[in-house]
């Protein structure tokens, strides 16, 4: 009973946190922006994007510590606005963060590496 009471007390906090994760995901990936939602979804998940964005988003997700001024300058030179760079960067970073969260949650729920959560 004590355990049940503790879990009951914890449940609203867990729900609140899930709601906050969903709000962050919606704001970054589904709100009105200068970039298309499909572009942000691709940056987050790794699905195909046009060449300069594809490589850039992969770099943000997988080796952001290697990004330099030259990467940002290359996107500007290719015609992307600063707000597009901002949005795609945030989407890619959040996608990587969600990938880590879901990998762990799937293990806890008994689902293995074959069923990663969709960012």
Partner 1 sequence: MRPAILDHGHRIRARMFLGLVRRSTGHPIDPVAQLALYRPGFFGRPFLALAGQVLRGPSFWTPAEREYLAAFTSGLNQCPFCVRMHTEVAKIESGGQLEPGRPQAARPQLLAVLPLLEQVSRDPVDADRANLDAARAAGVPDDAIVDALHISLIFGTINRLANTFGFAWESDRQVRLGAQVIHRLSYRLPGFLMR
Chain residues in the site for partner 1 (CB under 8 A): 10, 13-14, 16-17, 20-21, 23-24, 26-28, 31, 33, 60-61, 64-65, 67, 69, 72, 76, 82-83, 85-87, 89-90, 92-94, 96-108, 112-113, 116
As a whole number of angstroms, the distance between CA 43 and CA 48 comes to 8
User: Least distance from C-beta 111 to partner 1, angstroms?
Assistant: 10
DSSP letter string, 41-62 = HHHHH-----HHHHHHHHHHHH
CB of 20 to partner 1, least distance (A): 4
Would you say 1 or 63 has its CB closer to partner 1? 63
CB of 99 to partner 1, least distance (A): 5
Contacts of residue 91, Cβ cutoff 8 Å, sequence gap at least 6: 28, 29, 35, 39, 40, 41, 43, 44, 57
């Amino acid at each position: 009973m004590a355990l049940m009471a503790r879990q009951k007390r914890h449940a609203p906090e867990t729900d609140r946190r899930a709601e906050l994760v969903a709000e962050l995901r919606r704001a970054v990936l589904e709100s009105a922006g200068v970039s298309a939602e499909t572009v942000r979804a691709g940056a987050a998940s790794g699905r195909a994007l046009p060449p300069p964005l594809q490589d850039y988003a992969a770099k943000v997700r997988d080796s952001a510590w290697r990004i330099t001024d030259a990467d940002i300058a290359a996107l500007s030179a290719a015609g992307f606005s600063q707000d597009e760079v901002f949005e795609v960067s945030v989407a890619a970073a959040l996608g990587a963060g969600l990938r880590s969260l879901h990998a762990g949650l799937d293990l806890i729920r008994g689902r293995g590496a074959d069923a990663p959560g969709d960012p």
